[in-house]
Structure 1
Amino acid sequence: MKFKLSFLLLNLVVLSVCAQNLKSAGDRYFFQYKYEQAVKEYEKESKETVLTTQQFLNYAEAYFNTKQFKKAWQTYEMILESDAIVTPFHYNKMLRSLYAISGKDEMNKYLENDTILKEASWAENAKFNFDIENKKDVVLPNYTIFNIKGNSIAADFSPSFYKDKLLFTSDRVLTLAKKKKKKEERIYLDIYESEIEDDGDITNVKPYNSIPKANFHEATPYYSAELDKLFYVLSNEKNGEMLYDEKGKNALSIAEVDRNNRFNFILKHLSTSFYYPFYDANSQRLYFAANFEDSSYGGTDIYYVNTSNGQIMSAPINLGPRVNTPGNEISPFVFENGLYFSSDVFYGYGGMDIYKSNLKADGSAGVPINLGKGINSAKDDFGFIVKNNTTGGLEGYFSSNRDGGKGKDDIYGFTVAEKPKLNTIVLQGKTLNPLTNIRIGNVAIKVLDQNNKVIKELESAEDGSYEIEVPWQEKITIIASKKKYSLFRQFYTAEELKNKKQTPIYLDFADDFVVEKEGKSMLKLNKFIFKTKSSKLTPDIIKELDKAITIIKKFPEFNLQIESHTDSKGGSSSNFRISQARADNIKKYLLNNGIPSKNILYTIGYGEDHVLNKCVNGVYCIDYFHAENRRCNIVVLNYKELY
């Protein structure tokens, strides 16, 4: 089996000392990455003694790493059935084993009863990627991929643009020497440079000599044109000797070399290795991969430090569970507000797959989207770099140990004629009261696709902020609701949302449109009256009824009663008739303008039965007081029941 030089950057040296102190032969082989021998030894030891939980986990992982997925799955299941703790890191391998032997559908069924993936974003990421994979109208970019001529039989990986050249990592010299001598010698990584030909292939490969020469690993370079500095990783050493921590572990550090060949360690720790540096000039973040035991979500995670022109200004910050998973994440690269990286999370195609997350204005990352088959294979695909070409498309390189290569890991070039379309729709904003602009928290939000199928449900935060990311749709509908607030329903096309930075959601507060009067809950309207002895709607009345229509459409749950009142002038029977006619005409106008009949339960003409003052028959009143009694109300019968 091939060592994954590219994946963990030859941490073979890391445990070479402490492994000697392990009593179990299975453990020793396991920590030396000799998984086939570890499987055999653990099998023997399990018949002779009781393995510890950690040894069983090692046993299962050794099965996994030798592609014995059925046995890996069975061993992990046995561990779970014993009520032992299975960390998300091992659970990821367990799920990948199930995926390998039974397929995606069986894995998804198993996930329905999941209790181990504590981060909701992991299951959401999986569903998101599976949904995109299943969408029939998704058009994947037509990548042209080629194996570069400069690859060797050794491991060649981690390409990086360097002015008009290409840098990469390889163990080619020592691999060839070892093959000739046929001796067990330690293989160390070095950085190489090459010319880039017009067709993207490389030529004139030679060691890169613009950094201080080291005796051990030098790998995964990244050149920042803005800083004119080279970042790379190297083994912790002093005076030509490796440095070890108290457990006998040698780790990898990140260093920089400037234009004057001045060398400086920038991230160094005796017990923690740092991998794959990348400097983003726009955000001034230095990204890297590492496994900090106190903050890692699984294996190796992607972190960043804030800098000021490359000078570190913060402690390492984990990118969070949206990007980092129970598996391993490596090789970050930022291009045009997209974070590219590789992960061996359970919902990929095989080993390490390349993903892209949209970077938001606040620097956080969106849902990682698999770049799809072609760029990704059933093996490890990583070290993705990309830039614009001269024809409006893209070109770049990545590394892979896919079938058909020349060595353990090869560098592949690619071109794509047109830039890929966005593969997600992102909406973010706040839920607000439009009258006061006050934020509304805990609003239920649904996203519907063009077939009115719910594809996303969430709640806005306490401060009213929300963020939605869904697979690309040509059309979506947003529905938002909260008790005692109006229903928000808005249709959007993808083109409308393409450059929309903020999408506020406005919900009206019911109390702003309802008033308590005469012991009843009524729509808050300006007073309107009919002309004497008339039931004809005037422009002033229509103006208020149009307001009522707007309110009722905002709150379709309202059950209404339309009431009309007269003063005590005239005969009682004629007052009843005219008030009923007025109530009926109000109802007719509402129905003709889109209000469903189910909303209007009653129309009542009270005549002069409910005057508001003492101006009844036989009592003299000036017209000012009679006018108080002439009124029409739209009562919300179920307001208190609703809220």
Structure 2
Amino acid sequence: MKAKRIYLLLLSSMFLSLSFAQNAKLRQADKEYRDFAYVKTSEILLEVANKGYKSVDLFQKLGNSFYFRNRMEEAAKWYGELMQLTEDVDREYMFRYAQSLKAIKNYDESDRWMKKFYEADKADLRGKAFASNVDYLSTIEKLSDDFTVNNMSINTELSEFGTVQYKNLLVFSSTRGGGKEYQWNEQPFLNLYQAVKQPDGSYIHVEEFDESLNSKFHESTPTFTSDDRTIYFTRNSYVNNRLKKDEGGTVRLKVFRSTLDDEGNWSDPESLIINNDAYSVANPTINAAGTKLYYASDMPGTLGASDIFMSEIDKDGNVGKPVNLGSVINTEAKETFPYINAEGDLFYSSNGKAGLGGFDVYVVRGFEKKMENNEALGTQNLGKPVNSSKDDFGYYENNGTREGFFSSNRDGGKGDDDIYSFTIPECEQTVEGTVKDKKTLELLADATVILFDKEGKELQRMTTKVDGEYKFNIECDKEFLVRGEKELYISDEKRFLTPRTSQELVVELLLDKDEVAIAEATNLRDALDLNPIYFDLDKSNIRPDAEIELQKVISVLKKYPKINLDVRSHTDSRASDTYNQALSERRNKSTIKYIVEVGGIDAGRISGKGYGESQLLNKCSNGVDCNEEEHQLNRRSDFIIKEM
């Protein structure tokens, strides 16, 4: 009996020792986790989990310690253990589990958890994006291109990413420098490096970009102004050679700027006014004009983990207030690594949209022009081979040299993140068709067919022969307008967007005999079905797209030489009454001047007046909350026939 009691005491003591040891490990793991030391966290917790211990907190931290290091196979395993233990968890774990499953190409199971995620909160933009496009995989497949991406020779077994071309160099970020390690992933801190372009297009001779710009902490994601005299880049927040943490213990990122002097030396980097010790600002890109800086941040007003923002840069280099680019681009997840190309297309990476997995690269074509014109934005996935089931980010392209670069941690790479290069494929398109009588479908000879770009600038024109046919060679992935004209006929025009891959487009033009009812008090805006006469913000000059519409008015005036016209220009209610009145008068004068000077119409036949916001067509007066379409209805030009 005594021996039995001793045995039980020993057994109890052993269990207590194991329990104390386990609790000590869990406490140590908690400390490492709070310090963002995810490698050490996972090592400790794996030891505990492999001994059979289970808890919600354990599986959450294990999943997160792999998820935040992009170790998605392990993350999926431990999030799966969490969901088997309980589904009564923060819905963010459903999203992370779905993302982890997608990264290992388990799309069916990923979609099942995204559906649960959406049903838990149908207002979340990430869930809505999934629910609105459940057939996203086939959509992305259609957007994919057939070209080869190459893992560059400059990559190492560590991390390389964030490329930009500078003169004959490729400048990028890398952890190859050794030295102090970053506890998040136990790799050295990032610095800026360069590789030199060779005649065959390869890049070799890797070395530090500039020692004066690199510190012992992170420097990454450079961007240069078009004159090569100014660099913007990301850097850790630090003071007195020590990392600076916010109240939550996070080391924030900031955007710095440096300028090149005449001796070729970079100035001491200055922190931009948009930076703050309470949040991160990172991954800058500057437009070709040097007037807008785009970047990622988790500042107040962010929809998710980070959003894409923009700040104006004035002629003195002052950086303006951050503007969030909105919910078409940003989600409740993470949007980052913006890049604006020379044509004004905005590229960025997101893990909050319906993509192939991890971060995918998305693009808003014609972003800057659409923002200027208050046009609706549309974003699309770049598809394969740029995107994969893993993280794809840091996109950069040079349409002049037809070179492209991006970064990825996809399978088959040399290290953690690698830089991939590709040649932008040549793309040839044709648009062709016939010009016919709309009623009889007779082929029309001697019709003039004119091709315009999206801004209304004439590109090409030709005259049809007896077969009524026309054909133009055009660029891919662009918007065009084609118009058919013939004497005694009303012109017909069609807008179209060319695909990203080579093919032939057919656009038929049907011309109706000129039977438009013209009488006194007729508004030619309605009779001719004119598109709105757009002006740039706060400007009164006639834009190329407005010229197309004004040419229709001029055609009527030439056909009916006895018509006298009253031009009436209107604004919406935004800005003051006095300002809008003056703006409408300037725009009215510009419109009349174009009709007279360009159209060759006698000035005595044209009168006009600006009405400001005095004749609104809807409720959108001062102080009334209206959307852009409602305001657009009030920004109009009327062309009233006052005498025939």
What TM-score results when the alignment is normalised by the length of structure 1?
Answer: 0.54
Which residue of 148, 153, 156 maps to 1:152? 156
Alignment of 1:72-87 (within 5 A): 72-73=79-80, 75-76=82-83, 81-82=87-88, 85-87=90-92
1:171 corresponds to 2:194: no
Instruction: Give the whole-Å Cα distance in 2 for the aligned partners of 1:420 and 1:32.
Output: 51
Residue 322 to residue 287, structure 1, CA distance change in 2 (3 Å): same
**Structure possessing the higher radius of gyration over alpha carbons:** 1
Asked if the contact 2:126–2:333 (Cα under 8 Å) also holds between the matched residues in 1, the reply is no
Q: CA deviation at 1:230?
A: 0.3
Aligned residues: 404
Is residue 301 from structure 1 mapped to residue 304 from structure 2 by the alignment? no
1:494 paired residue among 493, 496, 504: 496
- Whether contact under 8 Å (2:97, 2:110) holds in the other structure is no
Distance 1:91 1:108 in 2: 6
1:103 aligns with 2:114: no
Matched residue SS, 1:166: strand
Per-residue deviation, 1:343? 1.8
3-state DSSP of counterpart to 1:144 = coil
Q: Partner residue of 2:32?
A: 28
Alignment check: 8 A CA contact 1:201 1:413 kept: no
How far apart, in 1, do the equivalents of 2:107 and 2:304 lie?
24
Give yes or no for contact 1:226–1:281 (8 Å, CA) kept in 2.
no
Cα offset for 1:23? Answer: 4.3
Equivalent position of 1:244 in the other structure:
245
Structure 2 equivalent of residue 411 of structure 1: 419
Q: CA–CA distance in 2 between the matches of 1:373 and 1:197?
A: 28
Contact 2:359–2:392 under 8 Å retained in 1: yes
Structure 2's unaligned 5+ residue stretches are: 1-23, 430-476, 481-491, 501-517, 519-644
* One-letter identity of the residue aligned with 2:344: N
For residues 421 and 499 of structure 2, what CA distance do their matches in structure 1 show? 33
State the Cα distance separating 1:232 from its structure 2 match: 0.8
Query: Is the 2:118–2:127 contact (alpha carbons within 8 Å) kept by the matching residues of 1?
Result: no
Please state whether the residue corresponding to 2:91 is helix, strand or coil.
coil
CA distance change for structure 1 residues 46 and 368 in 2, over 3 Å: closer, same or farther? farther
Which secondary structure state, in structure 2, belongs to the residue aligned with residue 173 of structure 1? coil
Within 5 Å, which residues of 2 pair with 1:44-59? Answer: 47=53, 57-59=60-62
Q: CA deviation at 1:194?
A: 1.7
| Aligned partners of 2:161 and 2:174 also within 8 Å | yes
- The Cα shift of 1:243 comes to 2.5
Please report the TM-score for the alignment, with normalisation by the length of structure 2.
0.54
The question of whether the paired residues in 2 share the 8 Å contact of 1:57 and 1:76 is answered with no
Residues 44/473 of structure 1: CA separation in 2 closer, same or farther (3 Å cut): farther
Query: Which stretch shifts more, 95-104 or 257-266?
Result: 95-104
1:224-303 equivalences in 2 (<5 Å):
224-226=225-227, 228-260=229-261, 261-263=266-268, 264-266=270-272, 267-282=274-289, 284-292=291-299, 294-303=300-309
Long gaps (5+) in structure 1: 1-19, 179-183, 422-470, 475-489, 499-542, 544-643
Report how far residue 342 of structure 1 moved. Answer: 1.4
Question: How far, CA to CA, are the matches of 1:280 and 1:122 in structure 2?
Answer: 32
Against the structure 1 CA distance between its residues 63 and 152, is the aligned structure 2 distance closer, same or farther, given a 3 Å change threshold? closer
- Residues 97 and 113, structure 2, Cα contact 8 Å, conserved in 1: no
Equivalent in the alignment of 2:330: 324
Distance in 1 (alpha carbons) for counterparts of 2:114 and 2:284? 38
Matches within 5 A, 1:163-202: 163-174=167-178, 187-202=188-203
Q: State the match for 2:391 in structure 1.
A: 380
Alignment of 1:606-617 (within 5 A): none
Deviation at 1:246, TM superposition (A): 3.8
- Matched residues in 1 for 2:253 and 2:325: separation? 21
Shift in alpha-carbon separation, 1:101–1:77, aligned structure 2, 3 A: farther
The equivalences for 1:335-414 within 5 A come to 335=341, 336-345=343-352, 347-358=354-365, 359=367, 361-362=370-371, 366-389=377-400, 394-414=402-422
Partner of 1:606: none
TM-superposed CA distance for 1:202, in Å, is 0.4
CA distance in 2, matches of 1:165, 1:494: 38
Instruction: Verify the 8 A CA contact 1:253 1:268 in the aligned structure 2.
Output: yes
Secondary structure (helix, strand or coil) at the match of 1:205 reads: strand
For 2:636, the equivalent position in structure 1 comes to: none
| Overall identity of the aligned pairs, in % | 25
1:209 Cα deviation after fit: 1.5
Matching residue's letter, 1:163: K
* Alignment deviations for residues 52-79 of structure 1 (CA, whole Å, 9 cap, x no partner): 6xx7644443465452425414625866
| Aligned residues of 1:63 and 1:72 also touching (Cα < 8 A) | no
In 2, are the aligned partners of 1:26 and 1:39 still within 8 Å (CA)? Answer: no
C-alpha displacement at 1:32, in angstroms? Answer: 1.1
Amino acid at match of 2:396: I
Q: Which residue of 1 aligns with 2:18?
A: none
For 2:149 and 2:378, locate their aligned partners in 1 and report how far apart those are by CA, in whole Å. Answer: 26
Question: Structure 1, residues 272-302: CA drift from partner, whole Å, max 9, x if none?
Answer: 222211111448221111223x433222222
* Mapped contact 1:126–1:347 kept (Cα < 8 A): no
Deviation at 1:250, TM superposition (A): 2.4
Distance 1:122 1:268, change over 3 A: same
Matched-pair contact (CA < 8 Å) for 1:72–1:94? yes
CA contact (8 A) 1:332 1:340 kept: yes
Q: Please tell me the residue identity of whatever aligns with 1:249.
A: T
Contact (CA 8 Å) 2:349, 2:392: kept in 1 or not?
A: yes
Residue equivalent to 2:582 = none
Residue aligned with 2:257, SS: strand
Equivalent in 58, 61, 64 of residue 61 of structure 1: 64
How much does 1:312 deviate? 4.1
Alignment partner of 1:494: what SS?
strand
